[in-house]
């Protein structure tokens, strides 16, 4: 019984102590500090700002992998200030860092992002040019169209293909003539240098990308080139399929005769694509007539 009384006293002391702690916490004495202080400015930094500063410091590392990981982290924050820090890496001596930085600056406003990327479209490294072209497509900036059109004549297949993909994402009708020229090169229509004969594109990925981009843009000026590809039995089947799908996306009834002929193609997937394109054009025309 004596021990029981002793324990009751201990419990009473603990309860009183806890009450004091809770009261102090309510007044903010034990409140957790939400942010640290910048040593230079004396201003408080939020967790996001601390993370950005941490990655900024890593960008000065002598190790390429450290700099690459820092850029990846900055890009994953999806914040303009993080992207603004990443801009400095676009001039890094390492090609893999410049290429990684291309996607890490995309949280900036579109025009600011595009302006920082455009100079790298003529980078000496193929992979950098490719990644920059893809990144410019994601900005949807019309200011990037002229530079991307120039890359449609790049010496490297991967760069020409990425430029075509990007132009489709931006969907500016100003790119239609150049994209059509990829499918059907004609003197005076290509962005090639003067006094050079236009070369016919041979890479299937570039051709598919150009056809798909014309479908994304949806301008009827691209229809003749797409019909030409669709009717070319020497063209690869997947390129002809992409042309059929693009014609369906544009919705011009002038393409229906060529699409009907493609329904009997030896490639069943091309026949199906042509059939779906005709149905889509019919639906679009009904909507337009309402």
pLDDT tens figures, 154-187: 999 999 999 999 999 999 999 999 999 999 987 5
pLDDT value for 282: 92
State the Cα torsion 281-287-288-289 to the nearest 10°. Answer: 110
Structural domain spans, the chain: 48-108, 109-185
Rg (the chain; Cα; Å): 30
Backbone angles phi, psi at 126, to 5 degrees: -60, -45
Query: For domain 48-108, which CATH number applies: 3.10.450.50, 1.25.10.10, 3.30.930.10, 3.20.20.70?
Result: 1.25.10.10
pLDDT tens by residue, 53-63: 999 999 999 99
Q: For the whole model, what pTM was predicted?
A: 0.81
Beta-bridged to residue 37, according to DSSP, are 44
Cα 192 to Cα 173, 187, 195, 267: the distances in Å are 19, 9, 9, 34
The per-residue pLDDT for 44 is 80
45 pLDDT tier (thresholds 50, 70, 90): confident
Domain 109-185, CATH number (from 1.25.10.10, 3.40.50.20, 1.10.10.10, 3.10.580.10) = 1.25.10.10
In this predicted structure, which of 16-25, 229-238, 279-288 has the lowest mean pLDDT? Answer: 16-25
Average pLDDT value for residue range 207-214: 98
Residue 198 CB-half CA count within 13 A? 16
pLDDT surpasses 80 at 26: no
Q: What six digits make up the tokens of 119? A: 């100079």
Q: Which of 231, 277, 225 is nearest to 258 (CA)?
A: 231
* Alpha carbon distance 139, 120 (integer Å): 15
Do 270 and 241 form a contact (C-beta atoms < 8 A)? yes
Largest pairwise CA distance in the chain: 110
| Residue 214 near residue 250 (C-beta atoms within 8 A) | yes
* CB atoms near residue 200 (< 10 Å): 9
pLDDT of residue 37: 53
């Amino acid at each position: 019984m004596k021990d029981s009384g002793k324990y009751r006293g201990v419990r009473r002391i603990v309860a009183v102590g806890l009450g004091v702690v809770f009261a102090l916490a309510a007044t903010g004495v034990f409140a957790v500090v939400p942010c640290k202080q910048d040593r230079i400015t004396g201003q408080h930094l939020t967790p996001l700002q601390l993370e950005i500063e941490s990655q900024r410091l890593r960008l000065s590392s002598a190790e390429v992998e450290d700099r690459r990981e820092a850029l990846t982290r900055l890009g994953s924050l999806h914040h303009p200030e993080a992207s603004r820090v990443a801009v400095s890496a676009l001039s890094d001596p390492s090609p893999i860092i410049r290429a990684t930085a291309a996607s890490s600056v995309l949280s900036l406003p579109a025009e600011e992002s595009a302006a920082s990327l455009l100079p790298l479209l003529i980078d000496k490294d193929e992979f950098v040019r490719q990644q920059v072209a893809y990144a410019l497509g994601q900005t949807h900036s019309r200011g990037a169209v002229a530079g991307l059109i120039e890359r449609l004549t790049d010496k490297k297949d991967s760069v020409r293909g990425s430029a075509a993909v990007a132009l489709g994402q931006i969907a500016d009708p100003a790119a239609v003539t150049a994209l059509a020229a990829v499918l059907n090169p004609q003197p005076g229509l290509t962005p090639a240098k003067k006094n050079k004969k236009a070369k016919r594109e041979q890479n299937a990925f570039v051709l598919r990308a150009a056809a798909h981009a014309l479908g994304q843009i949806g301008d009827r000026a691209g229809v003749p080139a797409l019909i030409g590809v669709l009717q070319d039995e020497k063209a690869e089947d997947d390129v002809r399929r992409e042309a059929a799908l693009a014609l369906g996306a544009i919705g011009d009834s002038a393409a229906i005769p060529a699409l009907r002929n493609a329904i009997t193609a030896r490639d069943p997937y091309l026949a199906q694509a042509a059939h779906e394109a005709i149905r889509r054009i019919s639906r679009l025309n009904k909507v337009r007539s309402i």
